[in-house]
Structure 1
């Protein structure tokens, strides 16, 4: 069973309040991940990849997407949830800036990874799903970044500096996932 999955097992009914709490908690995790950053230009390096992939593995795909949509909505409304905000802008100004394509890519990845990595999948399948999830992040991010930097510098500024870090985050999450799942199962058993 996924880390944060909400399911109908042994009389456990999914309630709208519980679903809302899960989505808000996911958006909160994404906000915290955005605030942990190394300053790069034009796109800062954050823990977004780690948080997006963890939510995509741990939540049903629709809830992982809903959590990211809630995060984007909070940012669009002007809350300083994005990395570098409010200093680098807030609301729609930030969303339309250099990181907008990456945020859209994370939204796509949040649903894609969950669909590719079934809850009972092997570690290899989870790893491959996360690697596949990086593809829309980089493709959409780089395509959007062309609006802000010369075409011949897009890879050097918007992809290359982040590849090793993102691969390391994905590998750490893939390796630690069984431990995280067991910890979540233990925590759920305390509520029973």
Structure 2
């Protein structure tokens, strides 16, 4: 366990190489490939303002559920670093200004989402659809909370907000329209991971 970033309760843990060096190489490759998946899902988006509709949340939830908290958080952290360095990995580009803009809180919230869902996966939720779905909803709620809080911090500079009622305006425009879609994405992610787990266990 000292040389691995996942647990036997995750999909990656089921097929970890036996050698320590091979385990670390496998973990690193998984993290890099995970960032490519998140990037691809970020590009599948509907460009609405201030927060575009993307499949990033589906990708982060699925990766964390399949690989556990350490791999999940490390993947998101590398993805955010790539974006901060200017690589066009986000929905409409990259760079530090992107991280401090309206979507910055949601992007950082992916770290919390990955930690919560990955924690549940490390404890055996990957093979339990309802438990995994519940963990994903909690992780998604944490994502929304951080993203919403960030928007409120930026509210004084946001012309798209009704300054007479900032809280309600930010919720109505940047949170409420996404709730149903995110529930559906979390359900799909939970069913996908638990379905793969079930087939592999057979």
The alignment status of 1:72 with 2:72, answered yes or no, reads no
| CA–CA distance in structure 1, aligned partners of residues 87 and 70 of structure 2 | 23
Q: Deviations over 1:146-187 (max 9, x none)?
A: 21334231111110111011001111222233332356x49x
Q: Partner of 1:189 in structure 2? A: none
The alignment status of 1:27 with 2:31, answered yes or no, reads no
The alignment status of 1:44 with 2:60, answered yes or no, reads no
| CA–CA distance in structure 2, aligned partners of residues 62 and 3 of structure 1 | 13
Q: Which one of 106, 110, 113 corresponds to residue 106 of structure 1? A: 110
Q: Partner of 1:130 in structure 2? A: 136
Q: Deviations over 1:105-163 (max 9, x none)?
A: 11111011111244533211101100100111111101111213342311111101110
The two structures have a TM-score, normalised by structure 2, of 0.81
Change (3 A) 1:41 1:8: closer
In structure 2, stretches of 5+ residues that fail to align are 1-8
Would you say the 8 A contact 1:27–1:70 is kept in 2? Answer: yes
Q: CA deviation at 1:5?
A: 3.2
Q: Partner of 1:16 in structure 2? A: 24
Would you say the 8 A contact 1:38–1:44 is kept in 2? Answer: yes
Using the TM superposition, name which of 123-132 and 167-176 deviates more. Answer: 167-176
Q: Partner of 2:191 in structure 1? A: 175
| CA–CA distance in structure 2, aligned partners of residues 177 and 2 of structure 1 | 10
Using the TM superposition, name which of 169-178 and 29-38 deviates more. Answer: 169-178
Task: Tell me the number of residue pairs that the alignment of Structure 1 and Structure 2 aligns.
Answer: 180
Backbone CA RMSD of aligned residues: 2.0
The two structures have a TM-score, normalised by structure 1, of 0.85
